[in-house]
Amino acid sequence: MHKISISSLGPIENAEFDLKDITIITGSQASGKSTILKATYFLLMMKDFVLQAFLDFESKKNRTYLEAIEDVLTQEFFQLFDLCFINKNTKLIYSISNNKSYEIKIKNLKKISISFSYELENNLKEEYAFFKNTIHNSEDIGVSEIQTLVGTKYRQFQKIFDLDKDVVFIPADRSQFLDVANLSLKEDKIVNSFSYYIKLITKRFVKSYIDLDKEFKNDGNLFALTNDRIKNILKGEFLVKQDKYKIVFNNGKEIDLASASSGQRESSLVLHLLKFFMYYRERIKYIVLCEEPESHLYTDAQSKILELFVLFINIKGNKVLITTHSPYLLQKTNNLLYAGNLMEKISITKKEELKKVLDEKLIIHPKQLNAFFTKDGKIIDVIEKDFINYDYIDATSDDESDLHDKLVKFDD
């Protein structure tokens, strides 16, 4: 099920959608796309917030399990959303299944309240009692034992919330992360989270693609599909040298990423984070929420970055939710979706021929996709007969065509 519901938050009056393998949200500026992405991130991070709340045993030991959770949620929520975004009707709901959900409301302008369904409530009461007895009331437990416990309980919370994936938010302004040596903690939860993952890939991409390919030769075609798309976008190879991001071109020349084109700067960290998740953390699944992955990219590169996201969901069972302003990216989605529709109805012989045109790992099947358009505080489902409605893809070009027709009348 995994349904997200958002009410009265910033520009969003009401939005409700199922979390499928790939969810695309488009719409004009300031229409609520980023608000939906951040609210979804907040809801999906619940298992992390609960674990954080239950581990806070240094202060307020006499809190109830709900008070402990609400304290953490309040702090995290107001780091994501300004006061002007909320009112007494603000509400977020995550429905995991028919009998498992949680609902977040505004208690007042300084406090968040949460209510859990019966099953979740009982699970969390039991877990909080365990933490109090094992950690809060124990004088003998050591740091290493706590670390082991955290790992065990994190996996337990994944089961409780029926979410076996780590949640990663990729913000729109990615240039701020290009200074490897000076990535520092900030108040912004999303920035800190992204910085953490960027530091991880910094340790990995100190080898060339050739050397890395040797490590993952068993992946064969999939690793080649990934690298080909990254090289096509960057027009070179991404490396980390002496704590600096570099792009090495085919002629051997290199440039600091900070001095590269805007498209290279904005896309490189996204590309290699996806690659890192696919091949170096293959045992972990992810939900990636990405703002405008196509930013500053020409149309052919937009096509390749979408293909990389599709590889990401198809190889490991990951999920992605992206916002976009690009009609070309939507058109590309329709082509990959068309291939998925064909695969469900053509003969075996034709399927094999189709795979020669488009690798099956690049295909989007209808059941995998959600697509929405934000307008007037709501989201409009733009999937029609298993395709993104072309009216929403071509909305801007239609406006310009109308203007062109009006101008032509003046050309005697």
Write the pLDDT tens digit of every residue in 94-112.
Answer: 999 988 999 999 988 788 9
Q: Which residues pair with 239 in a beta bridge?
A: 246
CA–centroid distance for 36 within its chain: 12
* pLDDT reading at 45 higher than 60: yes
Return the sign of the alpha-carbon dihedral for residues 290, 291, 296, 301: positive
Question: What distance in Å separates the CA atoms of residue 273 and residue 293, rounded to the nearest whole number?
Answer: 12
* pLDDT reading at 322 higher than 90: yes
pLDDT in the model for residue 368: 95
pLDDT in the model for residue 101: 95
pLDDT in the model for residue 38: 94
Torsion of CA 350, 352, 355, 360, to 10 degrees: 110
> 64 pLDDT band (50/70/90 cuts)?
confident
Per the listing, tokens 């984070």 go with 273
Which one of 56-60, 88-92, 262-266, 401-405 scores highest in mean pLDDT?
Answer: 88-92
Nearest to 39 by CA among 91, 107, 1: 91
Angle among Cα 188, 189, 192 to the nearest 5 degrees reads 85
Which amino acid, residue 201?
I
pLDDT in the model for residue 410: 60
The mean pLDDT of the chain is: 84
Give start and end residues of each alpha helix (H) in 45-183: 46-55, 65-80, 118-131, 143-160
* pLDDT reading at 60 higher than 80: no
Cα-trace Rg, the chain? 23
pLDDT in the model for residue 215: 57
> 382 pLDDT band (50/70/90 cuts)?
very high
CA–centroid distance for 52 within its chain: 21
Nearest to 328 by CA among 355, 285, 292, 368: 292
3-class DSSP state of 10: coil
> 187 pLDDT band (50/70/90 cuts)?
low
CA–centroid distance for 192 within its chain: 15
Question: What distance in Å separates the CA atoms of residue 51 and residue 330, rounded to the nearest whole number?
Answer: 38
Neighbouring residues of 78: CB distance < 8 A, sequence distance ≥ 6: none
pLDDT in the model for residue 145: 74
pLDDT (mean) for 155-159: 88
> 41 pLDDT band (50/70/90 cuts)?
very high
